[in-house]
Amino acid sequence: MDIFAFVLLLLSSSLLLFFFVPSDAADGIAKSESLTEGMTLVSRDGSFALGFFSPGNSDNRYLGIWYNNIPGRTVVWVANRLNPINDSSGMLMVNSSGSLVLLSQNTTVAWSANSTKKAWNPIVQLLDSGNLVLREEKEENPEKYLWQSFDYPSDTWLPGMKLGWDLKIGLERRLSAWKSPDDPSPGELSWGVELHNYPELVIKKGTKKFLRTGPWNGLGFSGVPNLNDNPVYTYDFVINSDEVYSIFHLIKKSVISRAVLNENTSSYERYIWVEADKKWTTYISSPKDICDTYNLCGPYGNCIIGESPICQCVEGFKHKSPDTWNPDEWSKGCVRITQLSCEDKDKIGFAKFVGLKMPDTTYSWVNGSMNLNECRVKCLNNCSCTAYANSDIKNGGSGCAMWFGDLIDIRQVAANGQYPSMQDIYIRMPASEQVNHKEEKDKQKMKLIVIVVVSIAVVFGVLLILYCISKRSNFREKLENNVMIDQNVEGQSEDMEVTFFTLATLATATDNFSSNSKLGEGGFGLVYKGTLVDGKEIAVKRLSRSSGQGLKEFKNEVILIAKLQHRNLVRLLGYCIEGDEKILIYEYMPNGSLDSFIFDQTRAKVLGWSMRRRAGAAVACA
């Protein structure tokens, strides 16, 4: 072999080594490796894959991450959203300076990771969370990344992904919807954290606000009550000097869930993968109704689902355009009924409102160390302050949030503030209107409800008495017309209308009236549990010989009980008269009698008011 051929062979070997591609089972690539068309990286647990794809009906090629084990390729992240590759020449690699780049035609940079730190021994790895990271191969801290895809989300929010701001470097993590199923480039719809003094999550269409969650109050967002009251995920909102972000985590690792910003439906949607049906199911979506529309009702307008019109004025305010109050005029909002004067503070106070989504916090101020009374005084002394509230409602409430200027984007979230994540807000009012308007309205409603309930109860009681009188009258008439039976050898008669049992049959059924068969006892005798030869269970009431009840009275009792049948009363099955024995045979009740429920603190909870009322009616008529 001549020297020229040897040099060519050496160069070829070096190039092959530099562009070595990993196997499909690999979860990362090192500095000497690359990823090309037809190859994928797969996270260690097999959840996610990284590779090249074409969305929808498009022929363009993109580098993306998708769920590896879910059919249909659900893409959660795209690298070159703004710069697609129009052929199959795409190649992902770590260049000589340690930066992650996506090349087209082996020379053109279609996309690159914005890493500000130089890597000496870099490795690119796809994590089980779906996060693509660039890090030093021998870094002791496995979570110290030079760059990560979670900092540059597309349209999908994954568990463990921060949505918000890294204040130290001025990085905003914000979702942006795909333009269409065929085009993953950013559309008009975006979602992120608005950095006011009192931060909140906001969806925008272009530069205009479209939907607002309300500020975080320690338990949830005021416009999304009971956010953490679900079996799928937990939610948190972090605010400190370094970061402001929202994050969620799945409660069960077996659950697969993602949140997506959808341009076509102009909505935020959370999905759960249902393995049995092999499809994604919508768990929640926003906006959930028209009142979620940003500032639909204008200043001091309260959007209330079920009201007509849907936009009502907050108590103490009136329509700004009462003569033209229609949907086209809603955004004009409301104005005060009584104007305020800053000079006379004795005539100014605050009215408490509950169950409202907190107003837009663009013009707000927060102090976490103040209490509610200090907050009130500070707001009262500032003529521009229109409302105040606790900024955190955990553990009884703490901190101070104040609003300045008109209050906008208010809606009724709870009918009476029953949700634990509800915030009370105090709105500046004339002294003559310093009442809790919502509580006053609720009191009036409660009075009306009490009057209606009492009226119904009285009418029901009268009807029940008349019904019982009628039943007793009819029963006495039947009883007086009944032919009294004559005693025979066995005490049996065709007029008794119930089955006659022999003493021997009952003795066999109760193991000769064994104490082990005894259910209870009272002043009139003992009660035993018995089992007939056909397996039917019965309750045997053996009347005491000292009860003083004669044969005639006993027969009358049998007739009376036999005729008085009701679904809430135990049914009489038969009787026995032999010698001195007088016995009643009832249907056996495995759950015991009613008193075992009423007077037991645990079992009493089983009986609802409707069941108690029916049982009471039966007893009253008997």
Least confident of 27-31, 263-267, 407-411: 27-31
Other beta carbons within 10 angstroms of residue 223's beta carbon come to: 24
Give the mean pLDDT of 48-75: 96
Residue indicated by tokens 């009423």: 598
> By the 8 A CB rule, do 411 and 357 touch?
yes
Residue 186 has pLDDT above 90, yes or no: yes
pLDDT value of position 417: 57
| CATH architecture for residues 18-152 | Orthogonal Prism (2.90)
Kindly state the tokens that stand for 317. 């305010």
Name the least confident of 251-260, 370-379, 573-582: 573-582
- Would strands 400-404 and 385-389 be described as parallel, antiparallel, or unpaired? antiparallel
Cβ contacts of 102 within 8 Å, gap of 6 or more: 63, 79, 80, 85, 90, 91, 92, 109, 110, 111, 112
Rg (CA), the chain: 39
Residues 366-376 as b/e (b if ≥16 CB within 10 A, e otherwise) read beeebebeebb
Q: What is the pLDDT of residue 142?
A: 75
172 with 201: CB under 8 angstroms? no
Residues 54 and 478: their CA atoms lie apart, in Å, by 88
Q: CA–CA separation, 263 vs 177, rounded Å?
A: 5
Q: How far is CA 148 from CA 39, 132, 236, 271, 566, in A?
A: 21, 6, 21, 24, 73
Phi, psi angle pair for 339, to nearest 5°:
-70, 150
Evaluate if residue 34 carries a pLDDT over 50. Answer: yes
Q: Select the more confidently predicted residue: 230 or 168.
A: 168
Task: Using the predicted structure, report yes or no on whether residue 133 has a pLDDT greater than 90.
Answer: yes
Find how far residue 180's CA is from the centre of its chain: 30
Per-residue pLDDT, averaged over 49-64, amounts to 97
Percent above pLDDT 70 for the chain: 80
Q: Looking at the predicted structure, is the pLDDT value of residue 569 above 70?
A: yes
pLDDT over 60 (residue 58): yes
Per-residue confidence (pLDDT) for residue 90, from 0 to 100 = 95
Averaged pLDDT score across all residues of the chain: 84
pLDDT of residue 325 exceeding 60, the answer is: no
pLDDT at 101 over 60: yes
Closest CA to 162 of 244, 261, 76: 244
CB neighbours (10 Å) of residue 547?
13
Contacts of 561 (CB under 8 A, 6+ apart): 572, 584
What are the structure tokens assigned to 183, written together? 């085009």
For residues 9 and 484, give the distance between their C-alpha atoms in angstroms, rounded to a whole number.
124
SS3 content of the chain, % helix, strand, coil (to 5): 25, 35, 45
DSSP strands (E only) in 329-368? 334-336, 348-353, 364-367
Spatial separation of the C-alpha atoms in residues 129 and 139, rounded to whole Å: 19
Q: Where are the beta strands (DSSP E) in 556-605?
A: 572-578, 581-587
Report how far apart, in Å, the C-alpha atoms of 347 and of each of 342, 344, 428 are: 9, 6, 11
Could you tell me the two tokens for 13? 């070997």
Give the integer Cα–Cα distance in Å for 226 and 422. 9
More confident residue, 618 or 141: 141
What is the rounded average pLDDT of the residues 558-573? 78
**Percentage with pLDDT > 90 across the chain:** 54
In CATH, the number for domain 486-590 is 3.30.200.20
Q: Is the pLDDT of residue 479 over 60?
A: no
Residue type, 234: T
Residue of 378, 349, 381 lying closest to 366 (CA atoms): 378
Task: List the single range of 235-244, 456-465, 573-582 with lowest mean pLDDT.
Answer: 456-465
pLDDT of residue 9: 37
Pairwise pLDDT comparison (289 vs 455), residue with the higher score: 289
171/192 Cα distance (integer angstroms): 12
Q: Which long-range contacts link 404-408 to residues 24+ away (Cβ below 8 Å)?
A: 404/363, 404/364, 404/365, 405/363, 406/299, 406/300, 406/333, 407/299, 407/300, 407/314, 407/359, 407/360, 408/295, 408/298, 408/299, 408/300, 408/301, 408/333, 408/359, 408/360
Q: What is the pLDDT of residue 451?
A: 74
Cβ neighbours of 378 (radius 10 Å): 16
pLDDT at 331: 79
Kindly report the CA angle at 171 between 170 and 177, in degrees rounded to 5?
140
Ligand-binding annotation for 541, yes or no, is: yes
Q: pLDDT value at position 525?
A: 83
